[in-house]
Chain A
Amino acid sequence: MSSTSIAITALSVAKVGSAGVVEQIDLPEEVSNYLAHLGFLPGTSVEVLRRAPAGDPTVYRIDGVEVGLRNETARHIYLRLTSPPKTHAAPTNGSAPKNGAHR
């Protein structure tokens, strides 16, 4: 990736509005398989959308789908931050349509 930032962080601590690319997933096979089918695979871009009213779980957008994960799970998913809050770069494939729908 051309991004200058090489900061790798756990998904659970990424700030709301930030985005990145999944780097690694350290979870039991059964869980990681399930997550993979929802799009959580190394190389996929993910965005932190919002936290539930109680602060946990958090809603992430991966691959155009919104998925809620508890922090205890998100702690084991690592991502390379590509953009600070707000400006979200190109999705995994295809051209990005006119954007501006974020929050």
Chain B
Amino acid sequence: MSCHTAVAEPELAQQSPEPSGVRQLRTVALIGPPNSGKSTLFNRLTGMRQKVANYPGVTVDYHSGKMKSIGRSDLTLIDLPGIYSLATYSEDARVAVEVLTGRMRGVPRPDCVLLVLDATHINRQLMLAAPVFSIGLPTLVLLNMSDELDKRGGQIDTLALAKELGHPVALISAARNKGLEVIAEFLARESAAPDTGSRPVQLPILQSPAITRGWATQVTSRTNYITPATARWTQRLDGVLLHRAAGPLIFLAVVFLVFQVVFTLGQPLSNGLGNLLTALGAHAAGLLPDGWLRLLLRDGIWNGMQSVLVFLPQILLLFLFIGILEDSGYLARAALIADRLMRAIGLNGKAFIPLLSAYACAVPAIMATRTIENKRERIATILVAPFMTCSARLPIYTLMIAAFIPNRLFLGGIVGLRALVMLGLYVLGFLAALITAKLLNSRVLKASPAPFILELPQYRWPTVRSLALRLYDRGMLFTKKVGTIILSVSLLVWVLSVLPVHRMDGAFRLSELTSSVVGHLGHWIEPVIRPLGFNWKIGIGLLGSIMAREVIVGTLGTLYGVDPATHSLALQTALQHDMTLAGALALVVFYAFAMQCMSTLAVVKRETNSWKYPVLQFCYMTGVAYLAALTTYQVLSRLL
């Protein structure tokens, strides 16, 4: 079994002997190759107190946080991108080098480095150690996943490795929270270490990978390293999950299961939250005097915000599943299964990851396309990404489906009609992305293929901690959106729905809905949307949601709340009275295709550095959405 020595202290040769006061430790950098468990460790060390920020000038995100979990709130931990080497041909590596050498604007130069390596692949992982050491900062080498190493019969002599490397080495397991106390010890010792003045920081000497690899192999051979056996479970699972016939079927089943649970579990939770919020609103309104203020707060703000906020359970469930699929290692297998399809439409396999993340939100997906070196492929990916069904479409989809699609079950209750319709909408968006990519490829852009190289991590149980952290992030983001965009648009819609104020019998009176500004605007645009089966209230919702897709639900909540005819009804019931099934389906089809998101347009403008692409994208997507909704309504209203 491997020895869990704490910090094996090597004979440090490079520290200068002249003491000049005690070093002031402030910033610690965390670096490691992809799949080394770096983010798990980062979450362990910082907990909830982390921030996501952008490096100035580049789109590589970085997390930083106070190391509160190990009692060092005075220290800031900076998480560097996961990279294999410091050779600066990738933007990620360039960022890492600039931060480590203190040349990144707005980021303080780290005082020491935590280097995380996967203990089960020491040979390969050590290739990053050489260039990191050559930067000359005090470095603690953390061999992560010690539990895996143990379990699979691997072994390493950390003391011998520390001597070879000239830096302290420790075995840890970030996932199991084992051995992490060495980090605090290392930091305490570095804080107490005599200040040697600012060390010379030099660029790493980059040798050819073959030389670095030779060095790594030589080092490992002197540390009694026993390569762990291959993970049996990964082999067995891959035998099934990547099986010629079963693999793709399981992939589809997994996707379907996600939607099924989002409905069967999410709907009652959402209803419960809705009832709670309604009761809360009614109670609060009861405390206010009758008058315009009460109307403003209840009808204007609360109704709008509440109708969007109730979708929080579904959003969290969706992200819980995405988190499980990603953390367990299944997502990489999905990319492998889908690669053939991606290539058929002329997209790089690397486009799969950004496109997959577009299921959450198109904005980070578009930023993630920076990893695609070929400019044309990158632009193609940017242009198709917003067709993927992002989580902002979830509220309107769930609302319309719950209101109009009966809860019918097939196949002994396993397959629900509602989940099927939802899956259909996701497929619709995906097909639109495929066809658009194909069109772009043959017409607009001529792409040359870049290689598809995908590391398949071994399967691991996702940790509750990292899942909880994701959900917290997502939940905050969603709530923030409700508190800002949704609140302001709902407020605006309400104000416009009671204006103009006119004098009647000597008193000021608010307008009736139909004679208000909104009413006039709605009736003015109605001829355009009537052929799609939408009434004027939906039209107002469509206008408002050019800001963001969820806004339509808030706007409808406000409008139906203001209308005396539907005032007392729940939004679902109000819609059932006001729309046909054909119109409802046309509406969700419209949302599957339409580009209703200011943030996405802004990020496309920034990333392509031109107005051409966002304008093209907006016109194209809105055009497709209009025609598709028109067809849906015209066909279905004749059939149904």
Question: Within 8 Å of chain B (Cβ to Cβ): is A8?
Answer: no
Tell me which of B120, B341, B343 has the highest count of chain A C-beta atoms within 10 A of its own C-beta: B343
Do residues B84 and A54 form an inter-chain contact, with CB atoms below 8 A?
Answer: no
Do residues B84 and A34 form an inter-chain contact, with CB atoms below 8 A?
Answer: yes
Question: Within 8 Å of chain B (Cβ to Cβ): is A84?
Answer: no
A33 to B247 Cα, complex, angstroms: 31
A40 to B248 Cα, complex, angstroms: 29
Question: Within 8 Å of chain A (Cβ to Cβ): is B349?
Answer: yes
Chain B neighbourhood of A98, CB < 8 A: 153, 229
Do residues B452 and A97 form an inter-chain contact, with CB atoms below 8 A?
Answer: no
Chain A neighbourhood of B226, CB < 8 A: 94-95, 97
Question: Within 8 Å of chain A (Cβ to Cβ): is B12?
Answer: no
Chain B neighbourhood of A56, CB < 8 A: 339-340
A34 to B232 Cα, complex, angstroms: 27
The closest CB in chain A to the CB of B217 belongs to: A93
Partner of A97 from B33, B84, B227, B242 at Cβ < 8 Å:
B227
A19 to B636 Cα, complex, angstroms: 58
Do residues B238 and A61 form an inter-chain contact, with CB atoms below 8 A?
Answer: no
Chain B neighbourhood of A95, CB < 8 A: 226
Do residues A97 and B228 form an inter-chain contact, with CB atoms below 8 A?
Answer: yes
Do residues B227 and A96 form an inter-chain contact, with CB atoms below 8 A?
Answer: yes
Partner of B454 from A57, A63, A103 at Cβ < 8 Å:
A57
A91 to B228 Cα, complex, angstroms: 11
| Least Cβ–Cβ distance between A94 and chain B, in angstroms | 5
| Least Cβ–Cβ distance between A93 and chain B, in angstroms | 6
The closest CB in chain B to the CB of A35 belongs to: B453
How many A-B Cβ pairs are below 8 Å?
143
Question: Within 8 Å of chain B (Cβ to Cβ): is A85?
Answer: no
Q: Quick one: given A59-B242, A93-B220, are A68 and B336 in contact (CB under 8 Å)?
A: yes
Do residues A68 and B84 form an inter-chain contact, with CB atoms below 8 A?
Answer: no
Do residues A65 and B85 form an inter-chain contact, with CB atoms below 8 A?
Answer: no
Question: Within 8 Å of chain A (Cβ to Cβ): is B577?
Answer: no
Chain A neighbourhood of B239, CB < 8 A: 50, 103
Question: Within 8 Å of chain A (Cβ to Cβ): is B235?
Answer: yes
**Size of the chain A interface, CB-CB below 8 angstroms:** 45
Partner of A57 from B85, B225, B336, B458 at Cβ < 8 Å:
B336
Encode B71-103 as 1/0 by CB contact (under 8 A) with A: 000000000000011010100000000000000
Do residues A64 and B121 form an inter-chain contact, with CB atoms below 8 A?
Answer: yes
| Least Cβ–Cβ distance between B377 and chain A, in angstroms | 15
Do residues A53 and B337 form an inter-chain contact, with CB atoms below 8 A?
Answer: yes
Do residues A101 and B229 form an inter-chain contact, with CB atoms below 8 A?
Answer: yes
Do residues B449 and A72 form an inter-chain contact, with CB atoms below 8 A?
Answer: yes
Tell me which of A41, A49, A72, A94 has the highest count of chain B C-beta atoms within 10 A of its own C-beta: A94
Do residues B217 and A52 form an inter-chain contact, with CB atoms below 8 A?
Answer: no
Chain A neighbourhood of B449, CB < 8 A: 72
A13 to B227 Cα, complex, angstroms: 28
A89 to B110 Cα, complex, angstroms: 45
Partner of B209 from A33, A66, A92 at Cβ < 8 Å:
A33
Partner of B235 from A53, A67, A103 at Cβ < 8 Å:
A103
Tell me which of B217, B336, B449 has the highest count of chain A C-beta atoms within 10 A of its own C-beta: B336
Tell me which of B225, B230, B458 has the highest count of chain A C-beta atoms within 10 A of its own C-beta: B230
Encode B215-258 as 1/0 by CB contact (under 8 A) with A: 00100110001111111101100110011110110000000000
Do residues B451 and A31 form an inter-chain contact, with CB atoms below 8 A?
Answer: yes
| Least Cβ–Cβ distance between A98 and chain B, in angstroms | 7
A29 to B606 Cα, complex, angstroms: 31
| Least Cβ–Cβ distance between B121 and chain A, in angstroms | 5
A61 to B127 Cα, complex, angstroms: 18
| Least Cβ–Cβ distance between B49 and chain A, in angstroms | 33
Tell me which of A34, A41, A54, A72 has the highest count of chain B C-beta atoms within 10 A of its own C-beta: A54
Do residues A97 and B153 form an inter-chain contact, with CB atoms below 8 A?
Answer: yes
Q: Quick one: given A57-B454, A68-B454, are A63 and B339 in contact (CB under 8 Å)?
A: no
A11 to B332 Cα, complex, angstroms: 22
Q: Quick one: given A30-B89, A36-B213, are A57 and B339 in contact (CB under 8 Å)?
A: yes
Q: Quick one: given A37-B84, A64-B120, are A69 and B453 in contact (CB under 8 Å)?
A: yes
A30 to B87 Cα, complex, angstroms: 10
Chain A neighbourhood of B234, CB < 8 A: 66
A93 to B231 Cα, complex, angstroms: 18
Tell me which of A31, A35, A51, A64 has the highest count of chain B C-beta atoms within 10 A of its own C-beta: A64
Question: Within 8 Å of chain A (Cβ to Cβ): is B456?
Answer: yes
Residues 192-230 (chain B) with a chain A CB within 8 angstroms: 209-210, 213, 217, 220-221, 225-230
Do residues B210 and A65 form an inter-chain contact, with CB atoms below 8 A?
Answer: no
Chain A neighbourhood of B230, CB < 8 A: 61, 64, 101-102
A41 to B124 Cα, complex, angstroms: 11
Question: Within 8 Å of chain A (Cβ to Cβ): is B123?
Answer: yes
Partner of B85 from A27, A37, A54, A102 at Cβ < 8 Å:
A37
Question: Within 8 Å of chain B (Cβ to Cβ): is A20?
Answer: no
Do residues B247 and A53 form an inter-chain contact, with CB atoms below 8 A?
Answer: yes
The closest CB in chain A to the CB of B249 belongs to: A53
Chain B neighbourhood of A36, CB < 8 A: 209-210, 213
The closest CB in chain B to the CB of A47 belongs to: B230
A36 to B206 Cα, complex, angstroms: 14
Question: Within 8 Å of chain A (Cβ to Cβ): is B505?
Answer: no
Do residues A91 and B209 form an inter-chain contact, with CB atoms below 8 A?
Answer: no
The closest CB in chain B to the CB of A30 belongs to: B89
A80 to B349 Cα, complex, angstroms: 28
Question: Within 8 Å of chain A (Cβ to Cβ): is B455?
Answer: yes
Question: Within 8 Å of chain B (Cβ to Cβ): is A5?
Answer: no
| Residues of chain B having any CB pair with chain A under 8 Å | 33, 84-85, 87, 89, 120-121, 123-124, 127, 152-154, 209-210, 213, 217, 220-221, 225-232, 234-235, 238-239, 242-245, 247-248, 332, 336-337, 339-341, 343, 349, 449, 451-456, 458
Q: A38-B124, A93-B225 are in contact. List 14 more A-B contacts (CB 8 A).
A: A34-B84, A37-B33, A38-B84, A39-B124, A52-B336, A64-B124, A66-B238, A66-B458, A68-B453, A68-B454, A69-B454, A94-B221, A97-B152, A98-B229
Q: Could you jot down 28 A-B contacts, CB within 8 Å?
A: A27-B451, A30-B89, A31-B453, A34-B84, A36-B213, A37-B84, A37-B209, A38-B124, A38-B455, A52-B339, A53-B245, A54-B337, A54-B339, A57-B336, A63-B123, A64-B120, A64-B228, A65-B124, A66-B456, A67-B456, A68-B456, A69-B454, A70-B343, A93-B225, A94-B227, A97-B154, A97-B226, A98-B229
**Closest 10 CB pairs between A and B?**
A36-B209, A37-B84, A54-B340, A66-B456, A68-B454, A53-B247, A101-B230, A97-B229, A73-B451, A94-B227
